[in-house]
Structure 1
Amino acid sequence: MLDQTPVQIAWVTRDLATTEAVLTSLTGAKKWVRMPGVHFGPDTCSYRGEPADFVADISLSYAGDTQLELIAPVSGPSIYTEYLDRCGPGLHHLCMEAADTDRLDAALRDAERAGAPVVMAGTMPGGMRFAYVSAQASGVPFIEFAYVPPEIRAFFDYVKQEQK
C-alpha cells in the first residue's frame, strides 16, 4: 500500500451549489472549479467488473494542500449513484496518489490482498488513472487510488492557485 497522507476528500451530492457553500464556510475553500457533464464511458471505465457508462458533474477546490471534490451524478449507474441511493449525500471517499502507474498497480494488488477489491476504475482524458476499492463489510466504503500525470497536475495546480 502507499504510505502517505490522503491528497483528496470527496463528497457525493445532489446539489453542488449547496455543498460548495457549506464546505466553503467550514473549510475556507475560496473558489470552486466546476467540470459539468464529465462522461465516464465503457471504453475507459468499468463499474463492478462491467463497462461503465455514466455522467457526473464535478467541482474541485482546496483547503490548504488537500483537494476537495464534489460529485453530483447526472445519469447512469456508478458508485456515486449507488452511495446516494444507499446513504444519501455525504462523505464518499479519500484519495491516495501513486507516483507512477507501477505503484498504482501495486497498491491495487495490495488492496485486493487486504480484502478491498476494485469496484470502479478508469482513465480520464489526459491520462489520469483511478481505481476505487471497497471493504464495505469492514466499514470502508471507498478509497480511491490515482496516478496523476503532469497535464492533470497542472490543472490541479491551477485550481489550488485559485484559492489565493
Structure 2
Amino acid sequence: MSVAGGPVTQIAWVVADVGSAETYLGATMGAGAWTRMPEVHFGPETCTYRGQPADFTAHISLAYQGDTQLELIQPVRGTSIYTEFLERSGPGLHHLCLEPADFDAALKDAAAQGIEIVQQGDMGGQMRFAYLDGAAAGVPFLELAEIGPNMRMFFDQIKKGAR
C-alpha cells in the first residue's frame, strides 16, 4: 500500500553554498532561472523536528526543469533535518517530493506503516509539509506536501520565468 500516490513533483538538494549549486545545476540539468529566497524562517509554533519544536533558517532557491521543481536548501541557523543531513553526509540529494491527494490521510498511512515523520511544518497556511524517513527507498527523505492556492500561484510564476 502506498502512502502517497502521484508523480514526483520536486527533487531537492541540501547544499553548503546555494549560489554555487544554482550555477552547477543550471549548467548540468538545464534548469531555468532560479528564484532565491534568503533567510526563510521556520519557527517552533509551526514546525517540528524529530517531534520537538524547531526554530531554524535556510536559504531556499527554486527552479524548474520541465514540470519538475528543483529545490536547493542551504541551512543558515538552527538545527533541522537539513543541518543533520549536511553533518552526516555533506551536500547532496536530500529528498523527493510527492503531493498526495489527501495530505492528512497520507500522514496517517505513514504512521500506520511505521514510517517515521522526521520533520513537518506549516508555512502560513499556504503549504504543509512532512518529511518521511526514506532510507527504505534509497533516498534520505520523502517529502509529502499540500500546496495552497497562493503558493501554487507562486510556483507557477517561477515555472513561467524558467521557460
Q: Identify which of 73, 96, 99 aligns with 1:97.
A: 99
RMSD value over aligned CA atoms? 1.3
Greater shift in the superposed pair: 110-119 or 53-62: 110-119
Matched residue, 2:88: 86
In the TM superposition, what are the counterparts of 1:16-35 in structure 2 within 5 Å? 16-35=18-37
Whole-angstrom CA distance in 2 between matches of 1:53 and 1:114: 28
Letter in 1 for 2:11: I
What residue ranges of structure 1 are gaps of 5+ in the alignment? Answer: none
SS in 2 for 1:31: coil
Q: CA deviation at 1:137?
A: 6.2
Q: In structure 2, what residue type is equivalent to 1:133? A: L
Taking only the aligned residue pairs, the percentage that are identical comes to 56
Cα displacement string for residues 95-121 of structure 1 (whole angstroms, at most 9, x for unaligned residues): 00133xxx1111112222333211100
Question: Helix, strand or coil for the counterpart of 2:140?
Answer: strand
| AA partner of residue 131 (structure 1) | A
Equivalent residue pairs, number: 161
The aligned counterpart of 1:153 is: 152
TM-score by length of 2: 0.94
Per-residue CA distance 1:107-156 (angstroms, 9 max, x = gap): 11222233321110000135210000104366442100010010000000
SS at match of 2:21: helix
Quick one: which amino acid aligns to residue 157 of structure 1?
D
The answer (yes or no) to whether the contact 1:126–1:152 under 8 Å persists in 2 is no
Structure 1 residue 33, shift from structure 2 partner: 0.1
Checking the alignment, whether the CA contact within 8 Å between 2:4 and 2:144 is kept in structure 1 is: no
Alpha-carbon distance in 1 for matches of 2:134, 2:91? 20
Alignment partner of 1:25: what SS? helix
Q: Deviations for 1:35-90, whole angstroms, at most 9, x for unmatched residues? A: 10000000000000000000000000000000000000000000000000000000
Aligned counterparts, 1:57-136, within 5 A: 57-99=59-101, 103-136=102-135
Change (3 A) 1:54 1:66: same
Q: Identify which of 17, 22, 34 aligns with 1:15.
A: 17
Equivalent-residue separation in structure 1 for 2:139 and 2:32 (angstroms): 30
Structure 1 stretches (4+) deviating beyond 6 angstroms?
none
Unpaired segments ≥5 residues, structure 2? none
Amino acid at match of 2:113: A
The one-letter code matched in structure 2 to 1:118 is: I
8 Å contact from structure 2 (residues 9, 69) kept in 1: yes
